């Protein structure tokens, strides 16, 4: 059953990344620990399943297995290289599959698994292949929404008395436009629907934050 293979992939991801760090990360401290990659990969897996269930429910079990495997393992090489991690991840996954007869016997199209992992970072290229489209969209959707609000706060001077004003500026000037840019890169209808919901959440948060900051804009503008 697919569930058994998916659990094997998760186990391998956790074991392979144990003790590894992303030393090149400087902005978001939680990204240094390889546990972050595990959590990110599990979230991407969840997004992929949502897209499949809501748009491609008639997909073959073989393609669904390939997408799930790719979602779980697509960033496994990231601690080792900051650039070109997709290719490194493909190499690691290729070695694991080829050395594990049980896993290899369940994946009929290993080349397809390798391909969608290797090109998953190229979000600007539109996809004809549904499996690749789903993985790219699921990867794009992570860290947008509630998570991106926290990430934006890392771009703002936490020692400034105008922290919240600066955060609102960042969210309004960057995050909404970022959502719009990412929307153009998505391949699936349900992926776009999920991103629309995320954008609406950020806009709602911005409105509430602006309401709470009423009366401070004049002094903030003077101190920019």
Does residue 1 surpass a pLDDT of 70? Answer: no
pLDDT, position 19: 92
* Cβ(195)–Cβ(144) below 8 Å: yes
Mean pLDDT confidence for 81-93: 91
User: What is the pTM for the complete model shown?
Assistant: 0.93
Q: Which of 22-26, 54-58, 107-111, 145-149 is predicted with the least confidence, judged by mean pLDDT?
A: 22-26
* Cβ(92)–Cβ(13) below 8 Å: no
* Cβ(183)–Cβ(127) below 8 Å: no
pLDDT, position 125: 87
In degrees rounded to 5, what are phi and psi of residue 33? Answer: -75, 135
Q: How far apart are CA 216 and CA 130, in angstroms?
A: 49
Would you state the structure tokens that stand for residue 180, as one six-digit string? 């719009």
Residue 143 φ/ψ region, left for φ over 0, alpha for ψ in the -120 to 50 degree band, beta for the rest: left
Helix (H), strand (E) at residue 54: helix 35-55
* Cβ(77)–Cβ(89) below 8 Å: yes
Give the tens place of pLDDT for each residue, 157-204. Answer: 999 999 999 999 999 999 999 999 999 999 999 999 999 999 999 999
């Amino acid at each position: 059953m697919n569930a058994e293979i998916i659990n094997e992939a998760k186990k391998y991801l956790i074991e392979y990344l144990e003790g590894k760090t992303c030393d090149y990360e400087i902005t978001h401290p939680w990204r240094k620990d390889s546990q972050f990659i595990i959590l990110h990969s599990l979230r991407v897996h969840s997004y992929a399943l949502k897209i499949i269930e809501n748009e491609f429910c008639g997909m073959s079990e073989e393609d669904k297995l390939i997408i799930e495997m790719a979602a779980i393992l697509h960033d496994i090489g990231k601690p080792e290289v900051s650039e070109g991690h997709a290719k490194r991840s493909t190499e690691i996954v290729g070695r694991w599959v080829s050395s594990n007869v049980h896993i290899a016997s369940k994946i009929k199209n290993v080349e397809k698994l390798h391909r969608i992992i290797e090109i998953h970072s190229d979000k600007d290229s539109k996809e004809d292949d549904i499996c690749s489209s789903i993985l790219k969209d699921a990867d794009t959707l992570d860290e947008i929404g509630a998570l991106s609000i926290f990430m934006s706060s890392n771009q703002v001077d936490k020692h400034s008395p105008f922290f919240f004003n600066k955060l609102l500026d960042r969210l309004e000037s960057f995050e909404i436009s970022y959502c719009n840019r990412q929307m153009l890169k998505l391949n699936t209808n349900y992926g776009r629907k999920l991103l629309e919901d995320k954008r609406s959440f950020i806009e709602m948060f911005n409105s509430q934050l602006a309401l709470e900051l009423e009366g401070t804009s004049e002094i903030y503008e003077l101190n920019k």
